Structure 1
Amino acid sequence: MLKDVASLIMRHTVPSRRHLTPELVLRLITADTPLWRAAEDQVPFKDPFWAFYWPGGQATARYILDNGDIIKNKTVLDVGCGCGAGSIAAAKMQAKRVVGNDIDPYAVVATKINSEINNVSIETSTDNFIGAKCAEFDTILIGDMFYDEEFANMLFKWLKILVSNGKTVLIGDPGRHGLTDKRREHISLLARYDLPEYCCMENHGFRETTLWKLNK
């Protein structure tokens, strides 16, 4: 089964460095693939969010690659890992342990493929960690997950509990409506990045992306 999924992903994606982290090569659906313009009934995946490198994830990975000390020797959980870029960046910067987590099984297979391409070793999990204590992790990565107000409310409450228990929470986000002004009062801006023009076209007009740290 996993071999079949991996084969399907390899067949419908292409290696890309056209993003904020060209140090990483990631297999993605891009404008160079037939699926980019395919009708919905021609796409062999259901909601292949993992096949795109979303801007919040790009901010997370870019910051980690530029500031390796924030992750070195840490145990890292990358929630909603998608294509796995944040996990891969953490592993490259010598995190002690990295788990790429996504409830979509295709995402964790894609993450494994991308980690192998980038010559790093990470674990993967399809468990739903939201609400869990995450006792075995020091650092939690969250990218592009504030897309829906109801979900954002549940997510933010959980993240605040984690921070109160000593965890570091890094949030990559391009300005989605779920990261409200009220929630921004509880986070500190670590970095802001301009997206390359081709990334803007791929991401519905977002022109910049940011990385935040959740305050205690």
Structure 2
Amino acid sequence: MTTRLLMPRSCTQYVKLFYKLFTQTQGHRYLSNVYPPAERIRKFITENTELTGEQSLTPEIRLRLFTPSCRFWRERPELWPFDDPYWAIYWPGGQALSRYVLDNPEVCRGQTVLDLGSGCGASAIAAKLCGAAHIVANDIDTVAAVATQMNFELNGLEPPACLTENMIGSEPEAFNLILLGDMFYDEALATDLHNWLDSCIRTHGTKVLIGDPGRAQFESHHIRRLLHQLAQFELPESVREENYGLTCSSVWCYCPEL
């Protein structure tokens, strides 16, 4: 497996260009200052995503995502006005994690939950549907935070607390459960995650569930030997096509040697 598994096939090269081009085109913003920032972002998301989710592992969750019929699936990347839109794709690790939570509601019921690298907010939505007492969705992209709020509303749920600061490496907070999907795409990030998750578990006894389809950086990292597989899901055909033929995605419980 290679790092190409990070992106759906149809928009891999496009998304890779986003950050470079964004830094060169900040003066060419899509939205004016007529609306408050959150409202401008909501308007942009509404106009440039599509309601979907039926062909995922969690058809009961509705999400606003990129699809081939959306403008920016093929649009020139220099016209994109924000940071990389990782929030606009329902990654296979997140799909497996959300499916596992929905199938095992006792994991989240009554718990305080952190959805780390929350993206579109699907795992946080699953936790809320299963009765989580309090949820924090953390993603360093402000647009992802707005998308998460919108996706909660689509599912008839009160939006969660959304934090856009980088929590990895921060003082551990007292979460009962941390959910993270598709976060092991870079070796340095994987190591930072490993150290921080250890700290969270030692400090608060936090349970950690990880969703990943078997990316090379995940399989080769030393954290892998500390994981216990809880479930494996076959990916729907459409998800396989968008992720270079990946057939399965798994959920793991992190059990470090304390």
TM range (shorter): over 0.9
Aligned residue identity for 2:179? L
Q: TM-score, normalised by structure 1?
A: 0.95
> Residue by residue, what CA displacement relative to the aligned partner does 1:13-36 show, whole Å, maximum 9, x if unpaired?
000022110000000001221222
How far, CA to CA, are the matches of 2:60 and 2:42 in structure 1?
Answer: 23
Aligned residue identity for 1:71? C
Q: Gapped runs of 5+ residues in structure 1?
A: none
Kindly indicate whether the alpha-carbon contact (under 8 Å) linking 1:149 and 1:177 is maintained by their aligned counterparts in 2: no
> What is residue 171 of structure 2 aligned with on the other side?
133
How far, CA to CA, are the matches of 1:208 and 1:112 in structure 2?
Answer: 29
1:207 aligns to 2:247 (yes or no):
yes
Larger displacement relative to structure 2 (37-46 or 11-20)? 37-46
> Residue by residue, what CA displacement relative to the aligned partner does 1:139-198 show, whole Å, maximum 9, x if unpaired?
111110100111111111111222233000010111112213432210100111111111
> What is residue 42 of structure 1 aligned with on the other side?
79
Aligned residue identity for 1:214? Y
> What is residue 183 of structure 1 aligned with on the other side?
223
How far, CA to CA, are the matches of 2:92 and 2:115 in structure 1?
Answer: 15
> What is residue 120 of structure 2 aligned with on the other side?
83
Q: CA deviation at 1:130?
A: 0.6
Aligned residue identity for 1:196? P
Kindly indicate whether the alpha-carbon contact (under 8 Å) linking 1:148 and 1:177 is maintained by their aligned counterparts in 2: no
Q: Gapped runs of 5+ residues in structure 2?
A: 1-36
Higher-Rg structure is 2
Residues 16-165 of structure 1 aligned to structure 2 (within 5 Å):
16-17=52-53, 18-121=55-158, 122-165=160-203
Aligned residues: 216
How far, CA to CA, are the matches of 1:209 and 1:143 in structure 2?
Answer: 10
Kindly indicate which of the two structures has a greater share of residues assigned to helix.
Answer: 2
Q: TM-score, normalised by structure 2?
A: 0.80
> Residue by residue, what CA displacement relative to the aligned partner does 1:30-81 show, whole Å, maximum 9, x if unpaired?
1221222223123343311100000111011100000000110000010110
Q: CA deviation at 1:207?
A: 1.8
Alignment partner of 2:212 out of 153, 169, 173: 173
How far, CA to CA, are the matches of 2:234 and 2:87 in structure 1?
Answer: 22
Kindly indicate whether the alpha-carbon contact (under 8 Å) linking 2:83 and 2:141 is maintained by their aligned counterparts in 1: no
SS at match of 2:173: coil
> What is residue 11 of structure 2 aligned with on the other side?
none
Q: CA deviation at 1:200?
A: 1.2
Aligned residue identity for 2:102? L
Larger displacement relative to structure 2 (130-139 or 141-150)? 130-139
- Misfit runs of 4+, over 4 Å: none
> What is residue 43 of structure 2 aligned with on the other side?
7
Kindly indicate whether the alpha-carbon contact (under 8 Å) linking 2:187 and 2:217 is maintained by their aligned counterparts in 1: yes
Give the fraction of aligned pairs with identical amino acids, expressed as a percent: 43
Kindly indicate whether the alpha-carbon contact (under 8 Å) linking 1:14 and 1:28 is maintained by their aligned counterparts in 2: yes
